Amino acid sequence: MTAEGKDMSGKVALITGAATGIGAQVARLLAARGIRVAVCDVNVEAGSALAQEIGGLFLPCDVTRLSSVTAAANKCIKALGVPDFVHLNAGIMTVPTGAPFLAIEDVSLEQYRRIVGVNLDGVYHGVKVLLPKMRKQGGAITITASIAGLGILPIDPMYAATKYALIGFGRAVAAANANTNMRINVICPGVVDTGIVPDAFKSPDIMAPETMAAEVVDLLHSGPNGEIRVRLTQRPAFAVLPTDLNA
3-state SS record for 62-128 = CCCCHHHHHHHHHHHHHHCCCCCEEEECCCCCCCCCCCCCCCHHHCCHHHHHHHHHHHHHHHHHHHH
Domain count, the chain: 1
Please give the pLDDT value at position 237: 85
Please determine, for residue 106, whether its predicted confidence score (pLDDT) is greater than 60: yes
* Residue 89 resides in a domain: yes
Does residue 51 or residue 233 have the better pLDDT?
51
The answer to whether residues 196 and 92 touch, using CB atoms and an 8 Å cutoff, is: yes
Widest pairwise Cα distance in the chain? 50
Half-sphere exposure of 238 (CA within 13 A, CB side): 7
**Domain assignment present for 99:** yes
Which is the catalytic residue, given 112, 124, 159, 164? Answer: 159
CATH of the domain at 77: 3.40.50.720
Give the percent of the chain with pLDDT over 70: 89
Q: Is 188 exposed, middle or buried (0-12, 13-18, 19+ CB in 10 A)?
A: buried
Q: What are 116-119's contacts with CB under 8 Å, separation 24+?
A: 116/158, 116/162, 117/63, 117/64, 118/63, 118/64, 118/90, 118/91, 118/92, 119/90, 119/91, 119/92, 119/159, 119/162, 119/163, 119/166
Residue 28 is assigned to a structural domain of this protein: yes
Of the two residues 46 and 96, the one the predictor is more confident about is 46
CB 14 within 8 A of CB 38: yes
Q: Which amino acid, 25? A: Q
> Contact, 59 vs 51, CB < 8 A?
no
118 located within any domain: yes
Predicted local distance difference test score (pLDDT) of residue 247: 42
- For residues 34 and 57, what is the distance between their CA atoms, to the nearest angstrom? 14
Query: How does DSSP classify residue 20?
Result: S
Instruction: Answer whether 140's CB lies under 8 Å from 85's CB.
Output: yes
Does 187 or 236 have the greater pLDDT score? 187
pLDDT in tens, 111-168: 999 999 999 999 999 999 999 999 999 999 999 999 999 999 999 999 999 999 999 9
Q: What pLDDT score does 246 carry?
A: 44
34-49: pLDDT as tens digits: 999 999 999 999 999 9
- pLDDT given at position 234: 73
CB 17, CB 62: distance < 8 Å: no
Give the Cα-Cα-Cα angle 98, 114, 209 (nearest 5 degrees): 55
**Which of 18-22, 123-127, 145-149, 192-196 holds the top average pLDDT?**
123-127
> Is residue 159 annotated as a catalytic residue, yes or no?
yes
Q: What is the pLDDT of residue 203?
A: 65
Where in the sequence is the domain holding 81, given as residue range(s)?
12-224
Question: Average pLDDT, whole number, for the chain?
Answer: 91
Across 46-70, average pLDDT = 98
Q: Write down how long the chain is.
A: 247
Q: What is the pLDDT of residue 151?
A: 92
Is 7 domain-assigned? no
Q: Would you say residue 236 lies in a domain?
A: no
Give the Cα-Cα-Cα angle 151, 235, 228 (nearest 5 degrees): 50
Calculate the dihedral angle through the C-alpha atoms of 110, 153, 173, 192, rounding to the nearest 10 degrees. Answer: 100
Q: What is the dihedral of CA 124, 126, 129, 134, to 10 degrees?
A: -120
Residue 196, in any domain of the structure: yes
Evaluate whether residue 98 is within a structural domain.
yes
pLDDT beyond 70 at 197: no
12-16 and 57-60: which strand pairing? unpaired
| pLDDT of 224 over the 70 cut | yes
